[in-house]
Amino acid sequence: MIRLSHVSRDFPRRGRALDDVTFSVEKGEFVFLTGHSGSGKSTTLRMLHMADRPTEGEVRVAGFSSKLTSDREIWKLRRRVGFVFQDFRLLPGRTARENVAFALEVTGTPRREIGPRTSRLLSQVGLSARTGALVEELSGGEQQRVSVARALANEPLVLLADEPTGNLDERSARGILELFRDLNASGMAVLMATHDLDLVRSISDVRTLELSGGRLVFDSGA
């Protein structure tokens, strides 16, 4: 589902931010990507989303290769991969419902399907009661649920999340993690970057990868 082969990423003036990273995540796996600030977690996830490209090596995700997928084709990849950010990135001034419906509209979902599918997605993340609320009226945890519903809109095979609980209190953070676990139980691969080790340790049967200085230094599943 995800494979990084000898991936390095150099930035001008910064030097090597990722250094020869190799790992894979299989269908249906749940994996935490951990490491200190600056260790390369976000850079790794950006490669998987093809928002950035390796300087060396190859990234494959959901059948798309960083070597073969042009920038013009990235939208195809993004229909197979859901992405959740720390800062939610919802459309302001719009309702929960509009935010999710928009994701379905831009990928050409037939009009009559958008309403029912939006309702189903918001119910899946536990937000049926708040569908008409504006983004600004929602708590952080609720906003993150909207962004998860949006990420699920196109039934992705993989969910990538970069510090999805970073702006949430402990209780909301656990709620989001539980939601990810449920999604994973229904077959979706999940790769979640976090530096919240308490959250990581709260779950015993999950594979953990650790980056340090751009290198993969630990893989509990290897």
Residue whose CB is less far from ligand ATP, 57 or 152: 57
# residues near Mg ion by CB under 5 A:
2
Residue 43 interacting with ligand ATP (CB under 6 A): yes
Residue whose CB is less far from ligand ATP, 42 or 144: 42
Residue 218: Cβ within 10 Å count: 12
Which spans in the chain are helix H?
41-48, 74-80, 96-106, 111-124, 140-151, 170-185, 197-201
Kind of pairing between the strands at 158-162 and 189-193: parallel
Q: Quick one: how far is CA 139 from the chain centroid?
A: 20
DSSP 90: P
Contact 152, 99 (CB under 8 A): no
DSSP 89: -
CB of 37 to ligand ATP, least distance (A): 3
# residues near ligand ATP by CB under 6 A:
12
CB of 76 to ligand ATP, least distance (A): 24
Residue of this chain nearest to Mg ion (CB atom) = 42
Please report which helix (H) or strand (E) contains residue 113, including its range. Answer: helix 111-124
Residue whose CB is less far from ligand ATP, 142 or 162: 162
Of 41-49, 64-72, 127-135, 142-150: span binding ligand ATP (CB under 6 A): 41-49
Please report which helix (H) or strand (E) contains residue 183, including its range. Answer: helix 170-185
**At residue 7, what is the residue type?**
V
Residues 175-204 that bind ligand ATP (CB under 6 A): 195
Closest CA to 44 of 15, 72, 19: 19
Residue whose CB is less far from ligand ATP, 69 or 194: 194
Residues 35-74 that bind Mg ion (CB under 5 A): 41-42
Residues of this chain that interact with ligand ATP (CB under 6 A) are 11, 14, 17, 35, 37-43, 195
Residues of this chain that interact with Mg ion (CB under 5 A) are 41-42
